Amino acid sequence: MAGTLLEHQKLLQAARRDFAEGGPLPQHLLAPPLQRSWERLRRSGMQPREAPLPQPRLNCVPQLEHNDDRRLARCAQYDMDQLWSAFGGRQWTLFCVNADGFIVAQREHGLTDSPLLRPIQVGRHLRESHLGTTAPTCALSDDVPTLVRGNEHYLDHFSAMFCLSVPLHGLEGEVLGALDITGTGARSGELLLDYFRQAALSVENRLMLECRPCHLLGLQHDARWLNTPFQGLLAVSEDGRIHAANRVARRLLGLPQRGPLPGLTLEGVFAGANIHQRRRLLQPGPARRIRLAEDSAVQVQYLRAPVPRRGSVSVPTAAREAAKGSLRAQGVQAVRDAVVTCKGNVSAAARRLGISRTTLYRKLQQGD
């Protein structure tokens, strides 16, 4: 495996030189977002041998001037801390950028001595025209998770670097920014991608919590994924209009993946529910099964009432606890919570979760 990667890097080095001189790129040598980036840079006249031109920080002391940047940094903080505790190190940095490539939050090792990492600081812009091909610029421009290793960077200066980015999306499905890890060591891109995708969903869910004047509903086909980063979220006004929906909710309900949702109401989305079910959607209580179509239903959980604008957003205890463990631990905890809610009635707990009693017992044994 290491030999194959080394050979690929040598091919990239030669191909980059020929490409900069006007030659074609071998097919399938680069992922499409990276190839498009190389093509843009060649058209701009940039040469691989050039030195990068990092922009100066806007402030000597990191300070975010815009509310949107402060909100994004605040919502990304918890998940960045978790990712850093798992993957951080002296030769690595982890950061969050907004849609313009402006770094709004960062985690780094206090003793890092890498000249490649030191310029990555809150208050700087990461622009393709100054740094060549990087994971955050590709993730932002193409709206796809992006991995850039070694000579996949357009500039020779970054040939020793590894960077991976996943896009973050706002309340209307727009690209709001990206989470990135960059360093000079060796990491499994596939492993990191799984964790960063989950972190991105978690950050987006925290952004949904900022819809203070709205009720917040969680939904999923499988109740075990409620109160996890994989739940759908709907922000609903008092009159039943849907103010916002996260990516998961849009997929579950067949809604457009981007753009506002004008005229969309709970009554329209859950047309298959009876009047009593729809009335209880905005009332606290256990998750309720709501029919979407003849052969499809979702579990809907009421999470939070509207919060005054000057008040603090209270994250449900179940959501906070579920976010702390692994996916397996979250499943075990969901089973335990169901058993407690059903006062020890195993059959009722299994029905509540939509699983068999055998599966429920097995989950409980996993947690012992």
Write the DSSP string, 279-320: HHTTS-SS-EEEEEETTEEEEEEEEE----TTSPPPPPHHHH
Distance CA 170, CA 252 (A): 17
Long-range contacts of 227-230 (CB under 8 A, 24+ apart): 227/301, 227/303, 227/316, 227/318, 227/319, 227/322, 227/334, 228/322, 228/323, 228/327, 228/330, 229/198, 229/199, 229/201, 229/202, 229/205, 229/323, 230/198, 230/201
| Number of other residues whose CB lies within 10 A of the CB of residue 123 | 19
Query: Nearest CA to 121 among 112, 211, 7?
Result: 112
Distance CA 146, CA 130 (A): 19
User: What per-residue confidence (pLDDT) applies to 278?
Assistant: 83
Compute the chain's Rg from CA coordinates. Answer: 23
Angstrom CA distances, 228 to 119, 319, 350, stand at 35, 6, 19
How many residues make up the chain in this entry? Answer: 368
Give SS3 for 175: strand
The tokens of 165 are what?
Answer: 């980015």
- Torsion, Cα 248 252 258 262, to 10 degrees, reads -120
**Sign (positive or negative) of CA dihedral 269, 226, 203, 37:** negative
DSSP for 207-275, please give it: HHHT-TTSEEEEEESSGGGTTSTTSEEEEE-TTSBEEEE-HHHHHHHT--SSS--TT-BHHHHTTTS-H
User: How far apart, in Å, do the first and last CA atoms of the chain sit?
Assistant: 38
Q: Burial of 75 by CB count in 10 Å (0-12 exposed, 13-18 middle, 19+ buried)?
A: buried
Q: Which pLDDT tens digit goes with each residue over 245-264?
A: 999 999 999 999 999 998 89
Q: Which residues pair with 179 in a beta bridge?
A: 96, 166
pTM exceeding 0.85? no
Query: Nearest CA to 322 among 309, 335, 331?
Result: 331
| pLDDT tens per residue across all 368 residues of the chain | 556 777 888 899 999 999 999 999 998 899 999 999 999 999 999 999 999 987 766 554 456 888 999 999 999 999 999 999 999 999 999 999 999 999 999 999 988 888 899 889 999 999 999 999 999 999 999 999 999 999 999 999 999 999 999 999 999 999 999 999 999 988 899 999 999 999 999 999 999 998 889 999 999 999 999 999 999 999 999 999 999 999 999 999 999 999 999 889 999 999 888 888 888 899 999 999 999 887 889 999 999 999 876 544 444 554 455 444 555 666 777 788 777 777 777 777 777 776 777 777 777 776 55
User: What per-residue confidence (pLDDT) applies to 279?
Assistant: 84
User: What per-residue confidence (pLDDT) applies to 323?
Assistant: 44
Angstrom CA distances, 342 to 277, 321, 347, 348, 367, stand at 21, 20, 9, 6, 19
Distance CA 68, CA 53 (A): 27
- Secondary structure element (H or E) that encloses residue 93, with its range: strand 92-98
- Secondary structure element (H or E) that encloses residue 107, with its range: strand 103-108
